A and B are shown apart, each in its own frame.
Chain A
């Protein structure tokens, strides 16, 4: 980056900007090809991001329903139960804990198995079959921490049993990890393609302007002055190439949300789209930074290789 943070005269800044735009114009075909491919890359990235963001919200919702149940030692006093609760509260991975007393557990059992039939339940009034079933239901911020939490819970005094569903937690964790890897992989491939394309465009620009560059060097232009228009060219291609797909995605996503909401009401119970604002408040800056960054990187690498001034 050294050299690119130099203070530039305003007239030189505008001159450089103008030359950068002229470069794009001079190599119209290559510039258009670069912008189109960059747009395609960013479009795919945006599409992927929107899908992943929505998917992760669904996964999060499922995750939030995964709970670990902690049963107390037989005959545990309310003080012991409270102490166990205090120990649980110390853990940062715990998002919520719900205490279910033996009576509440029996009531819940009745609702499920006796369909709330009071006459059937009354027979057990004096002798709750689930007398030793008071427990905590513990919900986590991150289900991948379940095994660590279970080990900790088992070590707490006054705890008889810890029940958890390893399959649910592991499946969700693995799935989340898979999404992460796939996103990183796709982004990396897109990045390489885009850098390669910008580099090609800038190389053509340098070839076309070889004579001009030679004259500039003889007149006494600094490396910085010679290189700046090409950097501007790369950045502009990156910016345009990310602004176009963002606008397109915005229109598409907002229409899709409205369309699905109107036409497939039954789907809206299972599938809740993230609000447009929420998706794009992250996507817009990320895509723009990515586009401009790729443009900068592509042109910078090419200049280093082909423009020994």
Chain B
């Protein structure tokens, strides 16, 4: 469960990137967040990852207030959230297997478990045969699949995807969205920030629209959602 209670974030006095935003996202939901550049989408993602602190208000994730998390506790908190970016952010000097294993190394997972878990994730994203390939040898869609596998390898409860299809052609974009939907079907809460309204409309999910730092609509394909 993700709850935002009257969250505001101002980078400079008088220019709020988020202005008094309140949201409830239930466990297991699939939510699109749409809006133009400067609408506050990226700020929202950064606040959810505790890269930034709100100027006012509170964010509660899985029952824990982010305001109460100390700096030293941030790494542990982030392990509950998988994150995927538009530019994939893979390590270019490591192959597919190592990129995914890296996420497990970071949290000191035993090697035995890594060896079991990484092939599972590779199968899930359909890249089992390419485990030795380097990012430069993969298409954009394949790179994003690796990024998704890396985001999910530590079994987070929430997956944040910031413009995951922004660098992909239509065909690959659909593949990635289908994969995110499958992940959501298995119980992971998925939050996707996107510009791709065609996909948003076709997916028939909950859509939160932001403009100039405020939520202007929150609906599920035609039906209005309590805000």
Contact check, B110 vs A11: say whether CB atoms are below 8 A apart. yes
A212-B91, A218-B83 known; A225+B78 contact, CB < 8 A: no
**Are B105 and A218 in touch, CB under 8 angstroms?**
no
Q: Is the CB of B106 within 8 A of A225?
A: yes
- Do B107 and A220 have beta carbons less than 8 Å apart? yes
Contacts of A259 in B (CB 8 A): none
User: Counting CB contacts under 8 A, is A155 at the interface?
Assistant: no
A127 at interface, CB cutoff 8 A = no
Smallest beta-carbon distance A162→chain B, Å: 68
B105 and A215 form a contact (CB under 8 A)? no
Q: Can you list 15 residue pairs at the A/B interface with Cβ under 8 Å?
A: A11-B105, A11-B108, A11-B110, A12-B105, A214-B89, A215-B91, A216-B106, A218-B49, A218-B51, A218-B83, A219-B78, A219-B154, A220-B107, A221-B75, A223-B72
Give bound CA distance, A220 to B89, whole Å.
15
Report the contact-size class of chain A (Cβ under 8 Å from the partner).
10 to 19
- Which residues from chain A sit less than 8 Å from chain B, CB to CB? 9, 11-12, 15, 211-212, 214-223, 225
Q: Name B33-84 residues within 8 Å CB distance of A.
A: 49, 51, 72, 75-79, 83
Interface residues on B, range: 20 to 34
List the 9 shortest-distance A-B pairs measured between CB atoms, nearest first: A220-B79, A220-B78, A221-B106, A11-B111, A220-B75, A222-B75, A219-B103, A12-B108, A219-B106
- Which of B49, B51, B107, B108 is most buried by chain A, counting CB atoms within 10 A of its CB? B108
* Complex Cα gap A178–B89 (Å): 59
In the bound complex, residues from chain A placing their C-beta under 8 Å from that of B51 are: 218
Task: Map CB proximity to A onto B81-111 as digits: 1 under 8 Å, 0 otherwise.
Answer: 0010000010100000000001101111011
Complex Cα distance A215/B89, Å? 7
How many Å from the CB of B146 to the closest CB on chain A? Answer: 12
Beyond A11-B108, A217-B75, A220-B75: 18 further Cβ-contacts under 8 Å?
A: A9-B110, A11-B105, A11-B110, A212-B91, A215-B91, A216-B106, A218-B49, A218-B51, A218-B78, A218-B83, A219-B78, A219-B79, A219-B107, A221-B75, A221-B106, A221-B107, A223-B75, A225-B108
Chain B hits for A11, CB < 8 A: 105, 108, 110-111
Classify the interface of chain A: helix, strand, loop or mixed. Answer: helix
The distance from the CB of B140 to the nearest CB of chain A, in whole angstroms, is 18
| B102 cross-chain contacts in A, Cβ below 8 A | 219
Query: Min CB distance, A303 to chain B, in Å?
Result: 16
Which B residues are in CB contact (< 8 Å) with A221? 75, 106-107
Distance of A72 from chain B, by nearest CB (Å): 76
Compute how far the CA of A222 lies from the CA of B70 in the bound complex, rounded to whole angstroms: 13
Cα A221 to Cα B107 in complex, Å, equals 6
Considering the chains assembled together, what is the distance between the CA atoms of A216 and B99 in angstroms? Answer: 11
A220 B110 Cβ-Cβ under 8 A: no
Question: A216 to chain B: which residues have CB within 8 Å?
Answer: 106
Q: How far is the CB of B17 from chain A (nearest CB, A)?
A: 19
Which chain A residue has the least Cβ–Cβ distance from B83? A218
* Measured CA separation A11–B113 after assembly (Å): 12
Contact call A220/B76, Cβ cutoff below 8 A: yes
Q: Within the complex, what minimum Cβ distance (angstroms) separates A220 from chain B?
A: 4
By beta carbon, the residue of chain A nearest B71 is A223
CA distance A128 to B49 in the complex (A): 102
Assembled-state Cα–Cα distance A222/B91 (Å): 18
